[in-house]
Amino acid sequence: MSLKVLKFGGSSIGDADALRRAAAIVRAELPGGGLVVVSALRGTTDRLLEACAAAGRGDLPSAQAILGALRSRHEDLARELGHLEEVRPEWEPLFERLDQLLTGMAMLGEATPRGRDGALAIGETLSAHLAAGHFGGEFHEVRDVMKTDARFGKARPQLGAIRHAAAPWREALSKGALWVTQGFLGSTPDGVTTTLGRGGSDTSATLLGEALDADEVQIWTDVDGVLTADPSLVREARPISQMSLGEAEALSAFGAKVLHADSLAPGGRAGFRLVVANTLRPGASRTEILPVPPLRPAGAVTSVAYKEGIYLLRFPASAGLEPPMEAARSLEEAGALRFGLISSPAGTLLAVRPETHPAAEVLGALAASGVICEAGWAVVALVGEGLRADPVAALRHLAALGHEPVGGLLTGSSTVSIAFLVPESRLGDLIPRLHDRCVDGLLPSKDRAGQR
């Protein structure tokens, strides 16, 4: 029997209408059972983090005010859907536990990563009980199977242990059960709660898909799949009906927001189909991400991605390789993303995006020590399986840049993308032009039509 895993994010279950839409999707997609993974209701994780921060400052009244507001919102929603009495016995101990955790943090004057994960877990668990009630499924605790290490806040999944623990799930689900579980959460070998990092519930869904030998994992979100470009810059951007995992990986590395990079690895290992679809328009186009690349014309670009906020660090050739390598290392340790480290006899260029406050501080210290550090750059990537067959096409596409001040070419191990640095201020003009030239001109007519 074929098994599907469906995942609904916070915005897909944020209110009663959204939950009703999600229930209709579950009925349509899982008539013979399957697994549904949900994250916390929209905004809940942010509110819980605020409550932890307040408690950690010793401000228990503010923390409890947030808890009170979260409780009313959840209870109002459950009442509106007619499930309040059903979930109350599950929810009461969760609210109590949250109150205890916040009280403990306030007493210690510290919200530890471990305590924070414990508090965040309550958001996902509240919504999973409600979703189970509303979808007519059975709640099962994800922490029983999602085994991780103890890196609180960004725990690493332990694949062997997950697969082993998932055996009873495989058994029940293969017999047609409909189960609902939490995204984002895991547990250490000792059973202490962890989280997989912000936005981690996509990764939960694909890891569970892998452990359960699923045929398909569907990520339900609020866009019509993966698009050929950012629609806020390119009016003609449209959904890509099929793409390869390699394309999806390159896109998420270079800025596309729709899929979390960590969520793609399980599909590569397990070979299931990964689908991105729109909860608001379930009948509209969706993107299928396939382990075997779809056929593309040589040279064709599937999508144009970009990321702003890049800093270029320039090191003279006389400095040698050690200082730029050391800078890259300390920036990454502080949470920066590295987009390129290019060295030639003429010097070394390091392209990074700070992402975190500590990384911004490291950057400031490097600038203060005399490293040339330019803000205001962006990385632009052309991504497509077609580039594998005709790498020179990528260079022809670059001709579309005309007289743009390109800061550097970034190559990597991926042969399905070419990326380069341009000033941020050029994006608004450049991205539509590149899309028009590289994507519109070359996509096969099937994908051109986009909508099904």
| Contact residues: ligand ASP, CB under 6 A | 9-10, 39-40, 45, 183-184, 198-201
- Based on CB atoms, which residue is closest to ligand ASP, 221 or 348? 221
200 binds, among Mg ion, ligand ASP, none (CB under 5 to 8 A by kind): ligand ASP
Burial of 273 (0-12, 13-18, 19+ CB in 10 A): middle
Rounded to a whole number of angstroms, the minimum distance from the CB of residue 423 to Mg ion is 31
Is the distance from CB of 193 to CB of 117 less than 8 angstroms? yes
What amino acid is encoded at 368 in this protein? A
Stretch that binds Mg ion, among 42-50, 146-154, 198-206, 410-418 (CB under 5 A): 198-206
- Based on CB atoms, which residue is closest to Mg ion, 146 or 439? 146
- Based on CB atoms, which residue is closest to ligand ASP, 122 or 270? 122
Is the distance from CB of 282 to CB of 293 less than 8 angstroms? no
Rounded to a whole number of angstroms, the minimum distance from the CB of residue 198 to ligand ASP is 4
Rounded to a whole number of angstroms, the minimum distance from the CB of residue 278 to ligand ASP is 17
Query: Applying CB under 5 A, which of residues 4, 6, 7, 9 lies at the interface with Mg ion?
Result: 9
Decide: is 157 part of the binding site for Mg ion (CB under 5 A): no
Rounded to a whole number of angstroms, the minimum distance from the CB of residue 96 to ligand ASP is 21
- Based on CB atoms, which residue is closest to ligand ASP, 53 or 389? 53
Neighbours of 79 (CB within 10 A): 12
- Based on CB atoms, which residue is closest to ligand ASP, 201 or 417? 201
294 binds, among Mg ion, ligand ASP, none (CB under 5 to 8 A by kind): none
d(CA 272, CA 217): 7
Gyration radius of the chain's alpha carbons? 23
- Based on CB atoms, which residue is closest to ligand ASP, 184 or 315? 184
Query: Applying CB under 5 A, which of residues 14, 56, 123, 199 lies at the interface with Mg ion?
Result: 199
3-state secondary structure 14-44: CCHHHHHHHHHHHHHHCCCCEEEEECCCCCH
| DSSP SS3 for 377 | strand
**280 phi and psi angles, rounded to 5 deg:** -75, -25
148 binds, among Mg ion, ligand ASP, none (CB under 5 to 8 A by kind): none
Encode 341-370: b = buried (16+ Cβ within 10 Å), e = exposed: bbeeeeebbbbbbbeeeebbebbeebeeee
Rounded to a whole number of angstroms, the minimum distance from the CB of residue 127 to Mg ion is 13
126, two tokens: 């509240």
Rounded to a whole number of angstroms, the minimum distance from the CB of residue 44 to ligand ASP is 7
What amino acid is encoded at 249 in this protein? E
Q: Which residue is nearest to Mg ion (CB)?
A: 9
Rounded to a whole number of angstroms, the minimum distance from the CB of residue 85 to ligand ASP is 26
Neighbours of 316 (CB within 10 A): 12
For Mg ion, the binding residues (CB under 5 A) are 9, 199
